[in-house]
Amino acid sequence: MRTGLEGKTALVTGASRGIGKAIAQELAAEGANVVLASRKQEALDEVAAEIRAACPEVGVLAKAAHVAREEQAQACVEAAVAEFGGIDVLVNNAGTNPYFGPLVDIDEARATKIVEINQFSIVRWTQLAWKASMAERGGSVINIASVGGLSTEIGIGYYNVTKAAVIHLTRQFAMELAPQVRVNAIAPGVVRTHLARALWENNEEAISKYMPLGRIGEPADIAHAAVFLAGDTAAWMTGETLVIDGGSRVRASIS
């Protein structure tokens, strides 16, 4: 599969670990320069060193930025353009979930934080990438949603509300930014990440038995899909959400 990503530049938020790190690694393996964004510079530097060792032919820029801080987001996008001349791929991956419980008990402070990071940061970073580069040179935006945005679930309902918003933001941006920019989303199921640890750490065996494909997801499972969406092989695809969940959403139809 020829992705056409060689020499392109990809900016990945939440790139210091988990799905974001895996996506950055896979994009670099396809020949793309990568800009790594996350809150902690030290963690980003470690990922950058790993990518440089594995893919010495690509450029790597590690730039600490909190996705909910406008000035830091602006500085990161400007640094990417200064270093590589523009941004071809934006991966809005950063997410958080500081609350577990019913909607009737969530407080405004934590609800606001979830919205700022999971939902509005996608608007902010897409705006910045569009105005800085993509409006002229085109590109691809990939938003990391969740299968939770397609259903209801006990405990993480407000997180899922914001992920449902991500899915609709993807469709709205796809309409508004066409034809220059394609915008798609990925909706992962349970993946072995730090953010999702509470969902799998103490019951991985039981969850794996429930999955038609017999295991929980790995960050690389999502990264492979991101490479597809970023590259030329998805050139006629926009406004869509790829569900990658090990088959969990079809489990009820299997005897």
| b/e per residue 2-17 (b: at least 16 CB within 10 A) | ebebeebbbbbbbbbb
Sequence-ordered list of residues with C-beta below 8 angstroms from that of 38, at least 6 positions apart, any chain = 13, 14, 15, 16, 17, 20, 44, 64, 65, 94
96: closest CA among 115, 120, 109, 76?
Answer: 115
Q: Is 210 considered catalytic here?
A: no
Name the E strands within 39-88. 60-64
| Catalytic hit among 99, 158, 159, 210 | 159
Would you call 90 exposed, middle or buried from its count of C-beta atoms within 10 A (0-12, 13-18, 19+)? Answer: buried
Element (H, E) at 121: helix 121-129
Backbone angles phi, psi at 91, to 5 degrees: -110, 110
* Residue positions annotated with a catalytic role: 159
